[in-house]
Chains A and B, each alone.
Chain A
Amino acid sequence: MTTITQDNKSPFSSKFLQFYKDRTLLAILLSLFAVMFVYGIFFTDNYLTITNFKAIIRDAALYGIMAIGLTFVTLSGNFFLLSLKETASICGVTFAMGMATGFGSPDLVGNFLVSLLAALSVGVLSGVIQGYFVGMGGNPIVVTLGGAGILYGIGAWWSDNLVINFKRPHDAEWLGTGSFLGLPSITLAFILIAIAAELVLRHTNFGRKVYLVGANKAAGRATGHENFSMAIIVFTICSVCCAFVAVAFVAQMDSAQSNYFSAEFGSSGDMTILVIATVMVGGNSIMGGYGSTLRTSLGAIFIAMVDNMMVLQGFNSGPRIVGVGLMIVFSIIVFGLFAKGSRAQE
């Protein structure tokens, strides 16, 4: 090995080799993963078709929107919420209640706008309350763990743990199963939300504040940007994204239940963990201050691509969950090793 580095006098290749020597295992794993991915792309039947690609983006859209909301929380240094699926489920139950019973008044039955507003306001409420406790100095993980139980309990209590159905034709069809310009409307919403979030983070005052508070809480406090208001705002953004996804999902299914987003959602087990995985696989720093929503969107599409490939290859849910889990652990270790020695380690 030493002879090779001595032979290569040119700075670039020696640097490259040095990098390779420093992180041999990492480089081998990365290349192995790349080879497997390319192999999968070309040797999976029906993978490289436009219909399949549309299906992938459609899959990615549901947890991608929630992940974009979560990216704000992560960037601002508040780790993540463990109550994502519970927030979504209580908002879904609210929306379905509005569509099916009109909250008790017969005039409002099937009124899309009222149901949507009710669902969104439930999301705002849960976000503000959890953000308040986190801003006061509570640990985000523990607060949202408690919040998850409470939200799920209230949702199940309200709906009696039954499936709430509403009949088809209803006003929300365009959101659930409709499509514009050949794209499903949820996909379009994903693209629009991704662009809007990126613009907000890059080009507004608020976006830069998020980065500042996330990168250095003490500096933020010294310049008058307390984590208190920031936590409330980012938690609200995240919860509203959850509410939107819940509304779209319920509109697609024409029904809602309090554990719709719980175990075995899609293919990868748990919606909450899947969304957190998306943020991490995209390579955002969990300590805050580094990352973007673009990375998150790409992470969502990447996870959907790998998952779709494994489905087409005929894997069961066990290997697929292992695949996503490996991707998270792998990306954490890779980004952790890259960030070693820099500010990112506290």
Chain B
Amino acid sequence: MENFFKKVTKDVDLSFAILLSFCVYVFFSLNIEIFFSHNISFAILERFAVLGLVGLALTICIIAGEIDLSIGSNAALCAVIVVKLTDPLGAPFAMLIGLSVSTLIGAIQGFVIAFIRIRAIVITVGTLMLLRGVALLIAEEKTVMLTDFRVPDFITTKVLMYFSPASLTVIFIFICVGIFMRYTKYGREIYAIGGARKEALTAGIPLRRPMVIAFALSGFCAGFAGTVIGLKSGTAQGLGLQYLLLAGTVAAFVGGVSILGGKGGVLGAAIGALTVNFLNTGLVFYALQVHFVQLFTSVLLVIVIVFQTMSRVFDSRQSRKSLLATIDERKTTLLEKKRTVLGK
């Protein structure tokens, strides 16, 4: 019975996300003539290559019950490294170095969090600043640029009408992470320490392993997002990419994660990222300034947060009411019993 109930609530979150993204898509399709076309779908998937990854990174962290604020800096650092090393070493080797640096940073963060047992927001605020400084240091306070533009050209070639090498890779990463989170022991451990940490620790799950894995995965995803951005535009800045945190958080929360952890999934992250992409792509056609895009994205976040918080408050009130009702019922039955006994 309880399992069934859990499944239903999970589906409700997911269906809410699907409904929201559908509404946004239909709204823009009705208002903008060319929104429902092949080229725009290609553009949306191109944006998805970046935002989806950041959303996935934050989703994994929030499932583990923590939040990683250093995602923007991690992405910027990886972008700077990759763009700087692509000219002398070639793109594959540069990507290898950049991604391993990002993954390692994530793993170290996870280890420190599990070892000292502090909240992730505390340490990731520090690393946000530290990694930004390191990125500035590596870029020597300048904008790093590619000189050979064959790599950006290759990344953005159209394949199969809608896809590009970048978005295909990202979809592949999504499928891999989804299988990992769903069907392996290590993925389920991440859910366990997020949903009910004390119970999980008592049941014998080590805190260190899932934490390191979760943050390494999120570092990898953030680094990959930075790589895609850097290689696509051919430039990278130490101080850039800070907007990724807001966009990724919105994607994760629209996708149905709960701030308490242990809820949500990769499919939700994909749908959430698509919703944010529909919004961003649609707003482009209205020729608004950048701060309006930020304003609307934040409004979306606040709506989702208010919805979540209110439903939680409503749930707790309902459960309290039902508890009180059962207590009253028991009281009345006890009183009746007493009366019947006394009457005899």
Contacts of A333 in B (CB 8 A): 112, 116
The answer to whether B126 touches A136 (Cβ under 8 A) is no
At the interface, yes or no: A318 with Cβ under 8 Å from chain B? Answer: yes
Question: Inside 8 A of A253's CB, which chain B residues have their CB?
Answer: none
Cβ of B117 under 8 Å from chain A? yes
**A346 in contact with B238 (CB, 8 Å):** no
List of 7 A-B pairs having minimum Cβ-Cβ separation, nearest first = A153-B295, A149-B298, A325-B130, A321-B133, A322-B133, A318-B136, A156-B291
**B122 CB contacts on chain A under 8 angstroms:** 280, 286, 332, 336
A152 → chain B, closest Cβ, in Å? 6
Query: A320 contacts B133, CB within 8 Å?
Result: yes
Task: State whether the Cβ of A266 lies closer than 8 Å to any Cβ in chain B.
Answer: no
State how many residues of chain B have any CB contact under 8 Å with chain A.
Answer: 50
Count residues on chain A whose CB falls below 8 Å from chain B CBs. Answer: 56
- Interface membership of B127, Cβ < 8 A: yes
List residues of chain B with CB within 8 A of the CB of A161.
289, 291
Is A312 in contact with chain B by the CB < 8 A criterion?
A: no
Would you call the interface of chain B mostly helix, strand, loop, or mixed? helix
Query: Taking the complex as formed, is A337 at the interface, i.e. its CB lies under 8 A from any CB of chain B?
Result: yes
Residues of A within 8 A of B (CB): 79-80, 82, 133, 136-139, 141-143, 145-150, 152-154, 156-157, 161, 258, 263-264, 268-270, 273-274, 276-277, 280, 286-287, 316-326, 328-329, 332-333, 336-337, 340, 345-346
Tell me the total A-B contact number using a CB cutoff of 8 A.
163
User: Which of A138, A340, A345 has the largest number of chain B CB atoms within 10 A?
Assistant: A138
Output the nearest chain B residue to A264 by Cβ-Cβ distance.
Answer: B239
Q: A146-B301, A318-B141, A319-B137 are in contact. Are A141 and B132 (CB under 8 A)?
A: no
Q: Which of B122, B297, B299 has the most C-beta atoms of chain A within 10 angstroms of its own C-beta? A: B122
**Chain B nearest Cβ from A90, distance in angstroms:** 12
For residue B252, which residue of chain A has the nearest CB? A142
A153 near B291 with CB under 8 A, answer yes
Contact among B129, B292, B313 with A157 in the assembled complex (CB-CB below 8 Å): B292
Query: Besides the contacts A161-B289, A322-B130, A329-B123, what 14 more A-B pairs have beta carbons closer than 8 Å?
Result: A145-B245, A146-B301, A147-B302, A153-B294, A153-B298, A157-B295, A286-B121, A318-B136, A322-B136, A325-B128, A325-B131, A329-B127, A345-B116, A345-B117
Q: A318-B137, A345-B117 are in contact. Are A137 and B313 (CB under 8 A)?
A: yes
Question: Can you sample 22 A-B contacts with CB below 8 Å?
Answer: A142-B249, A145-B246, A146-B298, A146-B299, A147-B298, A149-B297, A153-B296, A161-B289, A269-B129, A269-B133, A270-B129, A277-B125, A277-B126, A286-B121, A318-B140, A318-B141, A324-B129, A325-B134, A333-B112, A336-B122, A345-B116, A346-B117
CB distance from B7 to the nearest CB of A (A): 25
